[in-house]
Amino acid sequence: MTLEVEICTYGLAGLQRVAQMTLPVVEGVRYRICMQNPDGAEVTLPAALRRPDVDFFQHPTRGLSVNRNAALNRAEADIILIADDDIHYRAEGLRAVIDTFAADPSLDFATFKFDCPTSKPYPKKSIQLKVERVRRYTPCSIEIALRRKSIPQSIRFSPQAGIGAPVFSCAEENLFLQRLLLHGLNGRFFPITICEHPNEVTCVQSFTPATLRGFGLLMWIQFRHASFFQRTIMFLPRVVVRSLFIKASMFRSIYHMISGYLRAGKYFNDDLTDRV
């Protein structure tokens, strides 16, 4: 069984970050660098990436979700692992991903753990991932692994969400996973640490209006089927509580999160497919 790590990056600065990543040589594992280069800059592949187990391609697009979709469409291995451009992988973690899928042929996708400066709550044991109105566990993109042949061509990351998207700059992975679950695919969380992310994730690093609207989108995904009473007693308190932990004014945080919640229905259908 083979594994392909899809490393998505943007521009020459991003490519230099990729060159600093820890990419161990592991049997059956390849790394594909997907670089967005909309300005057509001249590219010289860093020496650290000139390896037989590293593939590179560039394309003139913008938006992280667009980049990830390009990577998914090019994938060839049995298992696909979503990656950022500043991760340190562990050989035992990558082997664990392969072993997890090899042990369960019915598994369509899986989520794992990563280490980072900001503590993140995880389930204490392996759990089945389900479509739920309120989800207490929200995976990050770099925790997601997919069995390539199980993923329909019609299910991809939404260009309306993620870094570089015009309205929502996060929550794209939550949309993607819910689309997989709504399609009836089998997914599980495994409490296995597969890599280290030395920096804080996007939604902690920067609290721009687009990021805050992304929080609102996440809550729309969770509460879109809830009754008015449930939304009132569960959604609004969550907005207030989340705003307390954001390095921005409470009023500004609440305003943009509610704006994201209210605008989500304009961009996504009830089944979470893109409306525009």
Question: DSSP letters along 38-71, please?
Answer: TT-------GGG-STTEEEEEES---HHHHHHHH
pLDDT grade, residue 202 (50/70/90)? low
Both tokens of 162, joined, read: 């993620």
Residues 24 and 48 in one domain: yes
**CA separation for the pair 164, 144 (Å, rounded):** 20
More confident residue, 110 or 234: 110
Domain boundary among 177, 204, 231: 204
Residue found under tokens 């009023």: 251
Whether 187 is in a domain gets the answer yes
Instruction: State the pLDDT at residue 209.
Output: 86
Residues 147 and 249 in one domain: no
pLDDT grade, residue 182 (50/70/90)? very high
pLDDT per residue over 68-80, tens digit each?
Answer: 999 999 999 999 9
Residues 142 and 175 in one domain: yes
228-253: average pLDDT: 66
Instruction: State the pLDDT at residue 236.
Output: 65
Instruction: State the pLDDT at residue 136.
Output: 67
pLDDT grade, residue 200 (50/70/90)? low
Largest distance between two CA atoms of the chain: 59
86-90: average pLDDT: 95
Residue 240 confidence (pLDDT) above 60: yes
Mean pLDDT, the chain, integer: 89
DSSP strand E in 60-203: where?
A: 79-83, 88-89, 109-115, 127-128, 144-147, 187-196
**CA separation for the pair 109, 137 (Å, rounded):** 16
Nearest to 68 by CA among 161, 152, 198: 161
DSSP 32: E
What CATH number should be reported for the domain holding residue 26? Answer: 3.90.550.10
Both tokens of 141, joined, read: 């993109």
**CA separation for the pair 130, 166 (Å, rounded):** 29
pLDDT per residue over 139-160, tens digit each?
Answer: 899 999 999 999 999 999 999 9
Residues 245 and 134 in one domain: no
Instruction: State the pLDDT at residue 148.
Output: 98
- Of the listed ranges 24-38, 111-125, 217-231, the least confidently predicted one is 217-231
Residues 8 and 69 in one domain: yes
Which structural domain range is residue 242 located in? 206-267
Residues 57 and 183 in one domain: yes
Residue 122's CB is within 10 A of a number of other CB atoms, namely 17
Whether 50 is in a domain gets the answer yes
Instruction: State the pLDDT at residue 237.
Output: 66
Q: At what angle do helices 236-244 and 209-223 cross, to 10 degrees?
A: 150
Whether 274 is in a domain gets the answer no
What is the amino acid identity at position 173? E
Whether 275 is in a domain gets the answer no
Q: Give me the number of domains the chain comprises.
A: 2
Whether 272 is in a domain gets the answer no
Whole-angstrom CA distances from 164 to 42, 132, 233 are 22, 28, 33
**CA separation for the pair 171, 157 (Å, rounded):** 10
pTM of the model: 0.90
Domain boundary among 178, 204, 230: 204
Instruction: Give the number of C-alpha atoms closer than 13 A to the C-alpha of residue 208, restricted to the C-beta side.
Output: 14
- The answer to whether residues 262 and 223 touch, using CB atoms and an 8 Å cutoff, is no
